[in-house]
Every structure is written in C-alpha cells, then in structure tokens.
C-alpha cells in the first residue's frame, strides 16, 4: 500500500481523534496511487497513524477510515460500520425519520444518508467513499429490513458544491426505481411533506428535531413569530402545542408554499400563517408598528461557510438577535440558533450578549442544546459540532 508521510510536527488532528489530513501536512508520498484509493499514513518518524482515502484535488487530502494497523477496508468492514450506525440510532432516537449516517462522526467520512419514512436520501461528498456508495446503500436497506423498516426508494442529492473541491461532478437523481419525491413524514406529532428532489440539503432539517419539541411548553396560548421558517417546522410545532397565533416568515416563495401545505396537512391553517419577507427588513417594521410576541424563534441559515466571512456573519447574527429581543414581550421567550460551525459556541454566546446589552435586555437562559443525537458530535472533528440552540427568557432592565 502507498505510504504518506507527514511533516515533523504535523498530524496533531489525527492524534487528537480527528479524521482529516490536509495537503500542507504532507511531506512525501511513496508509491503510485490513484485518487480515491487507500493509503497508509505515517508520522515523520514512521509511526502508523491510520488508513484512509487519498485525493490530491482536495485540501482535505486524506480522510481516515481506520486507525488499526491490521485493518482491511473491504465489504465486511463497511458492513460493520453500517450496522454500527443503525444500532447506535436504535437506542437514542425515533428512526421513522432520522439521519442514518453522518460522515466522519459515524466513521464513514464524506457520506451522509437521511431516512424520510421509507425513503433514503444519500449525499456522497468525497471521492474515496463514492466508490462504496452503492454498497453502503444496499447494506443499509438490508440492515433496516432486518429491523422491520422497509425502504421503497433511494434518491441521491450529491449536488452540494463541496464536491467540486474534490474534483467531482454534481449528481442528482434516483438510485434504482423512481418514486414520488414528495414524501410525507411525521416528527414530534407534526406532519410534513418533504421534497427530497428540490428541498434544501436532503429535503428537511432533521438536526432540529429535539429542539423543535423543546419549544412546545412555551407556546400554549402564545403569540409566536418564527423567523427563517423554511417549510414551517418551528411554527407548526408551536401550532400543535396550542399557540393562539403563529406567523412564520421566510424569503423563499417556494418554502412558504410548502409551509402553507404543511399547515393544511396538520389542520392549522387558521392558526399558523406564513409570509414571504426578508427577515432583516421585516423585524424593524414589526418593531416600529409596536408588535410584541410571547415567543420569537430565530433559525437562520448559516451566515458564514468560511472563516473569511465570519465578521460579516457576526454582524448579521447580532442584528437579528437584537431585533428579535425587542419584539419579545417582557418575560417572553427568545429561541435563537446558529448552524455555522465557524461561529463557535463562545462567539455565538458573546454575540447574543452584545445584542442584549445594546437592546437593554436581560436574558435568563432556560436551555442550551445542540443538534439531535442522530447527528453525533465527534470530539476533535470540529465540523461535526455546528448547531447551537438557546432558549432565553427576555426581561426588561429592572
């Protein structure tokens, strides 16, 4: 097998439990290799660090599959990893709809598989794992069948631009027989249509499952504002919980159309209303008109996907949190999130604190949460820890 030797002083991420080797860590590559193939990684002194896929097109040049020196990466190895993924989720989450494989955090780097009822959606994001994509899907279907969960179709959403950094084309379409790509799921007692063909990412944001449930106790009899509602998930959880009125806002007309469909699906169309608007424009307008809400939810998309735009992102997070706080009645609740892993928990906390200071509000923290447990956080793989979720009581200065 080809041997990749790291520079002296490099390999700290691997030693700490991470799964990536970057191009600037590599000293030399001994042997002929094909991108996407397996290589052995050693420290400068010959100490074995792991076996992984190589791709010199990518800054993430090697993704580690195993740290055991004698491990063979074959079909049996892949099957065990797939079984481990399913067995883990059996014990910690409702599997009717969930993330089955979460890349590096499930020790299958570069691949994501989500389950929506009896449909699987796969994202293959790295060249090496792409070789095993069909095998992984076949194994998942078999293992799930053993657990009494029949899969009737698979759709591929390998259309994320990160594939271009791997030197790969964007791919989207059915794996196997076609089916209606508008899939109905139930989560926390709420029904949704999930568009696995055209929806964002793989069609739905499963990572907020438990966080959506966490707002329910706050919403009974409440007036609720849900910003960046997408297809209405937080808004509908508020409605199911007994809110007296809910307004969900998103800039996407398509998302709002789907949110309205979801409201009708749950018989909530008279309570949960949706509006197409830019949240940054709407929040000051609501403030000027004297509107107040018992609960304000801020669940924006990632304002930054790189460190280069972090300053601008912090400004955006501060702005929406300041505006959101001002719309909360004294003693009401602010629910606020960030899904960018570049905005660290410490940075997000300080940004919220600055917004509270400028708004002359005092915050009492009820909860701090991260992503649902089917999106496990692998320590030393910082990219797997991305979702920050707070619930605050907002109080006037006294």
For residue 34, give the 3-state DSSP assignment: coil
Point out the residues that are catalytic.
339
Residue 325 phi, psi dihedral angles, 5° rounding: -60, -40
CA distance 328 to 343: 25
CA distance 20 to 63: 5
Q: What residue spans of the chain are helical by DSSP H? A: 12-15, 75-92, 127-130, 133-146, 162-165, 209-214, 216-219, 233-240, 253-265, 279-288, 310-326, 345-358
Contact indicator for 300, 227 with CB cutoff of 8 Å: yes
Residues with Cβ within 8 Å of 372's Cβ and at least 6 positions away in sequence, in order, are 93, 98, 99, 206, 207, 208, 209, 210, 211
Q: List, as one string, the DSSP characters of 276-314.
A: E--HHHHHHHHHHTT--EEEEEE-PPPS-SSGGGHHHHH
Tokens at 127, concatenated: 């060249």
Rounded to whole angstroms, how far apart are CA atoms 382 and 108? 16
| 77 vs 83: CA distance, rounded Å | 10
């Amino acid at each position: 097998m080809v041997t990749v030797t790291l520079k002296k002083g490099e390999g700290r991420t691997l030693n700490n439990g991470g799964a990536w080797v970057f191009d600037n860590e590599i000293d030399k590559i001994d042997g002929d290799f094909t991108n996407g193939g397996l290589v052995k990684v050693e420290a400068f002194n010959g100490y074995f660090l792991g076996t992984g896929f190589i791709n010199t097109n990518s800054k993430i040049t090697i993704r580690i599959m195993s740290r055991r020196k004698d491990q063979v990466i074959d079909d049996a190895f892949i099957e065990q990893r797939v079984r481990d993924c399913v067995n883990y989720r059996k014990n910690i989450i409702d599997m009717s709809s969930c993330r089955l494989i979460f890349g590096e955090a499930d020790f299958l780097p570069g691949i994501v598989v989500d389950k929506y009822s009896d449909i699987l959606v796969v994202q293959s994001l790295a060249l090496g794992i792409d070789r095993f994509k069909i095998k992984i899907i076949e194994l998942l279907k078999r293992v799930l069948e053993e657990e009494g969960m029949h899969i009737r179709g698979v759709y591929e959403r390998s259309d994320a631009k990160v594939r271009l950094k791997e030197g790969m084309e964007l791919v989207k379409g059915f794996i196997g027989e076609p089916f209606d790509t508008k899939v109905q799921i139930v989560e926390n007692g709420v029904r949704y249509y999930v568009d696995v063909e055209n929806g964002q990412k793989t069609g739905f944001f499963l990572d907020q499952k438990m966080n959506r449930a966490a707002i329910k106790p706050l919403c009974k009899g409440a007036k609720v504002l849900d910003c960046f509602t997408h297809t209405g998930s937080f808004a509908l959880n508020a409605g199911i919980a007994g809110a007296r009125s809910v307004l969900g806002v998103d800039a996407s007309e398509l998302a709002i159309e789907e949110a309205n469909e979801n409201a009708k699906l749950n018989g909530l169309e008279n309570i949960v209303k949706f509006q197409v608007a830019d949240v940054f424009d709407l929040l000051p307008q609501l403030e000027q008109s004297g509107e107040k809400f018992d609960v304000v939810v801020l669940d924006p998309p990632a304002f930054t996907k790189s460190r280069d735009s972090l300053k601008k992102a912090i400004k955006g997070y501060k702005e929406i949190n300041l505006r959101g706080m001002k719309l909360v009645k004294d003693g009401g609740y602010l629910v606020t999130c960030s899904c960018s892993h570049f905005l660290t928990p410490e940075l997000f906390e300080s940004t919220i604190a600055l917004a509270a200071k400028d708004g002359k509000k005092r915050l009492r923290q009820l909860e701090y949460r991260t992503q649902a447990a089917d999106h496990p956080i692998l320590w030393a793989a910082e990219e797997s820890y991305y979702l920050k979720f707070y619930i605050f009581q907002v109080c006037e200065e006294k």
